[in-house]
Structure 1
Amino acid sequence: MAEVLVVADDLTGANATAADFASAGLRAATASAATRADVVAGMAARFDVVVATTDSRHASPEEAAALARAVVRTGWPARLVCNRIDTTLRGNVGATTEAVADEVRRLAGARVVVLCAPAHPTAGRHTIGGTQLLDGRRLEETEVARDARSPVRTSEVAQILRQQTGLSAALVPMATVTGPAADLVAAIGSALADGVQILIADATTEEHLDRVATAAVAASAGQELVWVTSDPGPCSVAMARALGLTRTAQGAPLLVVSGSATELTRKQLRQLVAERGAAVHRVPVLPGSAVPDVEAAVAVLGSALAGAGGDDIVVFATVVEDADVQPTTAEDAARIPRSLATAVRRVLEEHPVDGLFTTGGDVTAAVLAELGSHGLDISGEVVPLAVAGALVGGPWDGLTIVTKGGLVGNVGTTVACLDHLRQTVELDRRRVASARTSHRPPPPRTKETRT
């Protein structure tokens, strides 16, 4: 699942919010969900933050709410759900805020409170006394009051919300935001005790947003309560920090799949362990055979990836030690890569990886086929005959890969390949990606995550 799911009403705002999360150290992607909300599920398996744009700013309130609900359902579960609204409060602010909150409440089975902090300090949008200001001016005194499709007639945040929702709202004023932290926590706690459904927070700096988010989390500690944010992005990032998401979401591990029985491959894997601390797991085999036991292999690899972090390298190899090499019939030689690839695919449906390295020609071909890839988008050679690129087509379209044959290179070649893979992944983690509505259907989800 994604750490953070954001519902945005337009693409420009979605991209800006994804960039904010990327700057906070999370892998962020934008996905166009205006016509197909199911694209979100596929993105959630690969990124920490998915910002889904519904293109509904100028839609009817009913349509905007329905699109927002669909995104939340498809992207659930997430540790934080955000409703990305316009910095000048145009569009269906109240309708989407209520829709997102209601859908999270239904899915989580817990009380939901919305933190609405529409300030975007670095863009000159400030909230003072519950009034939204654009470069120091009330919204109705700026050109947004003359917007042809969604004119803004008032700067009062609570009044704008009341136009489309009956959820109860309370203001956290600037004096409280900037006062002692204990008083801020107490004020939010008092509002929660009164049953408030939306907290509107004043803010003119990012520090103010951090203070409010941190206090909100503290005030709700020990309660069965889920926070949802409704803002242009900065408050959502602040809430992610307050929940510890920017510190814990460090990406997924790299996976090495080795189906080569060559002596060179074994030396390369040993070198990878010595130089990069890779964790090696031998593929379980059927009794009296060299053919992988698929069920046992799924269990071993699944456990290994579940316990691995974003800085880890997990090796899954048919041959690790010299003693692992066994005489193999032609029939078994054909079954080995297919069975190994099946196990890898099943595990990747549940445990994402940031990059894939395969060694052994037959295994590479089997893995690509099992993952539904049509081929590779080649970026170049790491060393002669060791190729880098990304999968094209299938559920894992775009997954970074390096592949080579079992007799390619020298002892240090696999280390070089993993270093290249790591560098590519690190660059990708800082990149804001965009998914089209024609993107592939998501891989199957577990029963626990279906809703």
Structure 2
Amino acid sequence: MAEVLVVADDLTGANATAAGFAAAGLRAATASAASGAEVITGMVSRFDVVVATTDSRHLPPDVAAARVRSVVRAGWPARLVCNRIDTTLRGNVGATTEALVDEVHTLAGARVVGLCAPAHPAAGRHTIGGTQLLDGRRLEETEVARDARTPMHTSEVVEILRQQTGLTTHLLPMATVTGRPEALVAEIRAALEAGVALLVADATTEEHLDRITAAAVTASEGLDLVWVTSDPGPGSVAMARALGLNRTTRGAPLLVVSGSATELTRKQLQQLAAERGATVHRVPPLPHSAVPDLEAATAVLDGALAAAGADDIVVFATVIEDSDVRPTSAEDADRIPRELAAAVRRAMENHVVEGLFTTGGDVTAAVLSELGSHGLEISGEVVPLAVAGTLVGGPWDGLHIATKGGLVGDVGTTVACLDHLRQTVELERRHVASAQTRQSP
């Protein structure tokens, strides 16, 4: 499941919210669920945060609420469910908040309490005395008062919510938010014990949001309830921090495949183990041969990848020490890369690899063939004659790869290639991805 599921009423807000979670270190993706929520189900296991846009800001309240319910059902379970609303409170703020609270209650089988902290300090949206301000002015004094579809005639957050929902609310004023932490906890606890369903909070800074969410979590200790949020994004990020939600999609190890018997390659692999802590595994050969034993080699690599962590480097090499070098016939020289590649493919069918490094031209060609790749999309040279890119075509399409010949570079070249590969996959881990609903023909 995802750590966080967010339902957003438009794509721009969805992207901004995902970016906020990505900046907090969580892997976030946006998805268009306007035509159906099915896409969400396939994404929650791949990302820490899934932000689904329903494109419902200007739809009738009942339609917007139905889309929220559908997304929550498709993405359930999640440790935190959020309703991303407009920073100027346009649209179906009350209807979508109530739908989120009700649906999570149905699915969780527990009391659900919402926290609505509509401030977005970095964007000049502040909440003071329960009044939403845009660059210091009330909403009805700004251009949103003349919005063609949802003109804003009031800035009172509780009043805006009451226009579409009957959820009982309680305002946490600035004096309480900025006062003693224990007083803030006590006020939230009293509101919870009184049966309040929705807390509305003043805030003008990110620190205020952190204080509010930390106090909310503390105040609810010992109570059987689930928190949800309704805000433009920063409040939800703060609540995720307060709940201790962390990255779960940690990625997968990098795999080094070496079929080169050169002395330089051996020194490069030794340097990789010494400098980057790579675990080195020799490919088991057939008796009295340099040709890999396919079954034994697959078993060794299976075990190595199963034991590897997301930040590990697994080396699978036919030659590690000088003593591993054997006389090789022309026939065996053809078989070595094919059997090695077959073992790699079998192991990769059972274990996720986030990046691949190959050394030796024949081995690289054999691995690409076994993985069903049509070729490489080259992003550039790491060092002269050592390139990086992604696989094109086949089941592993898009997999990051770096590759070089057995006699390319110096002792530190393999380390440089793996550092480049690591940096590339780490950037992708934090990339805010976007997926669209697949339409039936």
If the length of structure 1 is used for normalisation, what is the TM-score?
Answer: 0.79
Q: Given the alignment of the two structures, is residue 337 of structure 1 paired with residue 367 of structure 2, yes or no?
A: no
Q: Determine the C-alpha separation between the residues in 1 that align with 2:82 and 2:350.
A: 31
Q: Determine the C-alpha separation between the residues in 2 that align with 1:59 and 1:285.
A: 66
Q: Determine the C-alpha separation between the residues in 1 that align with 2:284 and 2:69.
A: 44
The equivalent residue for 1:143 is 143
Report the RMSD for the aligned CA atoms in angstroms.
3.8
The equivalent residue for 1:6 is 6
Q: Determine the C-alpha separation between the residues in 2 that align with 1:220 and 1:315.
A: 45
Distance 1:131 1:266, change over 3 A: same
- Paired positions, count: 429
Q: Given the alignment of the two structures, is residue 186 of structure 1 paired with residue 186 of structure 2, yes or no?
A: yes
The equivalent residue for 1:448 is none
Out of 393-402 and 49-58, give the one that drifted further.
393-402
The equivalent residue for 1:252 is 251
Note the C-alpha offset of 1:275.
Answer: 0.8
Q: Determine the C-alpha separation between the residues in 1 that align with 2:369 and 2:215.
A: 50
Any idea what the Cα deviations from partners look like across 1:83-136, whole Å, max 9, x if unmatched?
211011111222322333344445545443221101112322222232322233
Amino acid at match of 1:95: A
The equivalent residue for 1:116 is 116
Alignment of 1:5-404 (within 5 A): 5-35=5-35, 37-40=37-40, 44=44, 47-245=47-245, 251-258=250-257, 260=259, 262-263=261-262, 264-280=264-280, 289-291=293-295, 297-298=301-302, 300-305=304-309, 308=310, 312-317=311-316, 319=318, 321-322=320-321, 334-348=338-352, 353=354, 355-359=355-359, 375-392=375-392, 398-404=398-404
CA contact (8 A) 1:292 1:336 kept: no
Q: Determine the C-alpha separation between the residues in 2 that align with 1:114 and 1:396.
A: 42
Amino acid at match of 1:258: V
Any idea what the Cα deviations from partners look like across 1:166-224, whole Å, max 9, x if unmatched?
43332222222111101111222222233332221111222211110111122223444
Amino acid at match of 1:91: G
Q: 1:269 is paired with a residue of what secondary structure?
A: helix
Amino acid at match of 2:344: L
Q: Determine the C-alpha separation between the residues in 1 that align with 2:359 and 2:36.
A: 37
Query: Where do 5+ consecutive residues of structure 1 fail to align?
Result: 440-451
Q: Determine the C-alpha separation between the residues in 1 that align with 2:90 and 2:334.
A: 67
CA contact (8 A) 1:48 1:251 kept: no
CA contact (8 A) 1:145 1:152 kept: yes
Q: Determine the C-alpha separation between the residues in 2 that align with 1:245 and 1:130.
A: 28
Q: Determine the C-alpha separation between the residues in 2 that align with 1:18 and 1:162.
A: 28
Amino acid at match of 2:79: R
Tell me which structure has the larger Cα radius of gyration.
Answer: 2
Query: Where do 5+ consecutive residues of structure 2 fail to align?
Result: none
Distance 1:438 1:278, change over 3 A: farther
Q: Determine the C-alpha separation between the residues in 2 that align with 1:428 and 1:286.
A: 39
CA contact (8 A) 2:293 2:339 kept: no
Any idea what the Cα deviations from partners look like across 1:354-412, whole Å, max 9, x if unmatched?
x4434456765676678776653321121344221234567766553323455544432
Distance 1:251 1:81, change over 3 A: same
If the length of structure 2 is used for normalisation, what is the TM-score?
Answer: 0.81
CA contact (8 A) 2:46 2:249 kept: no
Identity level (%):
69
Q: Determine the C-alpha separation between the residues in 1 that align with 2:194 and 2:285.
A: 61
